[in-house]
Amino acid sequence: MFQICLKFLHSVAFWFGAWCMALVLAPAQAQAQDQAGLDGALIARVQQIATSGARAGMPDQAKVEVEIGKLDSRLRLAPCLQVQPYLPAGLPMWGQTRIGLRCVDGRARWNVSLPVKIKVFASAVVALDPLPAGAQLAQAQLAVAEIDIAAESGAVFTDAAALSGRILTRPLAAGEAVRASALKLRQVFAAGDTVTVMVTGPGYSVAGEGQAMAMGLEGQIVKVRFENGRIITGRAVGERRVEVLL
């Protein structure tokens, strides 16, 4: 009988101690969740960074929508007084991507990724009806519509007339955007041709002429030699035109 009572007292002491410990730890755990969680101010900063990244190089009328996902539920982040969102290097702010979150003021520094989905609605050339691979495009088969141009990879077009005569390398569904990746490469200049080179940087654009060192296929990388012997690398973007982005 004495042993049974002793076990009962030990059990009561154990559960009472666990209950007290829970009362002590609960505020700390709640604080960690509040500080490391996505509060309203942090969500607003993530929205702003993602929107700014998606708008880079886009026309002013483009509409950007950002859907913020959730952090991995398995993460156990230490309390943090200041969480800083940032753009991870090399990640495009289009489609399914991520925004970085790092703790810059806390007893333990951490760095995690927050999934986001970015939609960019803008005008683009689309197929009016389903088109098979190998089809030669005609202006009557195309239209301009506002779509989510970030839904897939590949540059889109805004001028249907400019696509007349181009050949599809894959089928297109009705309403699907005509992207550069779906078109057969077109030669826009030959090796030795004189080409116009546009060098574009933040706030400036400079044009010059050089000699193509190889055949230029639209959208592909090519080298150009200037009269002074300098060689630059750019992208063939049109008839005897090469673009260099700095």
Residue found under tokens 């803008």: 122
Q: Check if the beta carbon of residue 149 is closer than 8 Å to that of residue 177.
A: yes
Q: What pLDDT score does 246 carry?
A: 67
Q: What domains, with CATH codes, occur in the chain?
A: 40-120 (no CATH), 121-182 (3.90.1210.10), 187-245 (2.30.30.760)
Q: What pLDDT score does 40 carry?
A: 87
Q: 63 Cβ partners below 8 Å, 6+ apart?
A: 120, 121, 122
pTM flag (> 0.85): no
Closest to 91 in 3D by CA, of 65, 116, 73: 116
Question: How large is the greatest C-alpha to C-alpha distance in the chain, in angstroms?
Answer: 105
- State how far the Cα of 24 lies from the Cα of 29, in Å rounded to an integer: 9
Given a cut of 90, whether residue 14 has pLDDT beyond it is no
Most confident segment among 1-10, 23-32, 208-217: 208-217
Given a cut of 80, whether residue 25 has pLDDT beyond it is no
Q: Specify the long-range contacts of residues 91-94, CB closer than 8 Å, at least 24 apart.
A: 93/50, 93/53, 93/54, 93/56, 93/118, 94/54, 94/118, 94/120, 94/150
- State how far the Cα of 216 lies from the Cα of 181, in Å rounded to an integer: 16
Convert the pLDDT of each residue in 99-152 to its tens digit.
Answer: 999 999 999 999 999 999 999 999 999 999 999 999 999 999 999 999 999 999
Q: What pLDDT score does 194 carry?
A: 96
pLDDT class for 37, splitting at 50, 70, 90? low
- State how far the Cα of 212 lies from the Cα of 192, in Å rounded to an integer: 5
